[in-house]
Amino acid sequence: MKFLDQAKIYVKSGDGGDGVVAFRREKYIEFGGPDGGNGGRGGDIIFEAVDNLNTLIDFRYTQHFRARKGGNGAGSDRTGAAAETVVIKVPIGTQIFDEDRETMLGDLDVAGKRLLLCRGGDGGRGNAHYKTSTNRAPRRADKGWPGEERWVWLRLKLIADVGLVGLPNAGKSTFLSTVSAARPKIADYPFTTLHPQLGVVRLSVTEEFVIADIPGLIEGAHEGSGLGDRFLGHVERCAVLLHLIDGTAEDVVESWRTIRHELSEYGGGLADKPEIIVLNKIDALMPEEIEERRTALEQACGHDVMCMSSVAHLNVDTVLRRLQDFVTRDRAEKAEQEKGEIPAT
C-alpha cells in the first residue's frame, strides 16, 4: 500500500428540500385549508478518525464528496425526508486545513473523534407554515437552503511517541527493524526510506511505545534539498526525538549541527523537544575512536551522548529504556493536564 500524507478534496453538504404549496381537498370537508409540508434537511459532511487507517491514499482516487439533497415536502403536511450524513473516515492524526493551507479547521488526533465540516441546508417552508388568521390560504412556499461547499487540504501527522531523526544512512531503519516488527527497506545508499515508517516497541507486558522513522535530512532540506523537510510533520507530536549519528562519519559534530539547524528552520517546536543523541555504528570503531567522538559531541551539545550499534545489538536495550522513561513521564504529564481541564461537578 502506498503512503500519502497530503490530499486536497472537495466537500459539499446537501441542499435542503423544497417546501410545497398544497391544500387539503377531501369530500365533505368544506374548508380544507393549506397543508403543504416543509422540505427535509440536507445531508451533513462529517470527518471521523479511525484507527485502522494510516495513509490518505484513498483520497488520491476519490476527491469529491457530496451529500444528498433533502426530500421535498408533500401534501397532508408531510415533511420531506432528511438526507443521510456522509461520514469521511481518515487516519488518526489527520489535520484539516482550509484552501489557503494555513487555517486549521480541525485536528482529529483521537480515535472516534468527529468534525462537522459542512452542515446540510435547512428545508424550505411549505405553505402550511404561513397560515395565519388573516391569510388562510397562503400560496407561498420556500426553496430549500443551499448546503455548504469548500475545498480543504488533509494533512496526516502520524501519532508516535518517539521520532527518529538523522542524516541519510545514519542507521535509523536498521534500528527500527531491530527493536520492532517493522520491516523498512535497508540498503547501503542514501534515501532508502522514502516515506515514514512506524514500529511498536514492547519492553514488557505493560510498557510499549511507537517509533516513527522519517526519511533522512540533509543540509538545505528546509529549502527543498533532498526529500525536503515536510516529513518532519510526522514527529511533531512525539514526546522525544532520537537523534542517530553515524559514528563512521568524518565529522560527527557537523552531522549533529546540520540536523539541529534543519529542525530549527522547520519550526513547529521541534527544536525545543527533548532530544536523545546516540552515536551509532560503534561496532565499526575502535574504543579510542568511540571515546573521542562521544567527547566531541558532548562538548558541542552540552549533555550526555549514548553509544550503540543496532547491527551488533550493543547498548540497544539501554537506549530503549531511556526512551521508555521519557515516554512514561510525558504520558503522566498529559494525564495530569487532562485531569486539571475536567471541571469539577
Annotated binding site for Mg(2+): 173, 193
Q: List the beta strands (DSSP E) in the chain.
A: 6-12, 45-50, 64-66, 86-91, 94-97, 104-108, 114-118, 149-156, 162-165, 197-202, 208-213, 240-246, 275-280, 306-307
List residues forming the annotated binding site for GTP: 166-173, 191-195, 213-216, 280-283, 309-311
The DSSP element (H or E) to which 175 belongs, if any, is helix 172-179
Question: Among positive and negative, which fits the CA dihedral 276, 283, 174, 265?
Answer: positive
Provide the greatest CA pair distance for the chain.
109
The DSSP element (H or E) to which 98 belongs, if any, is none
List residues forming the annotated binding site: 166-173, 191-195, 213-216, 280-283, 309-311
CA–CA separation, 78 vs 229, rounded Å?
57
Three cell numbers, residue 13:
453538504
Can you state the angle between helices 316-341 and 172-179, rounded to 10 degrees?
80
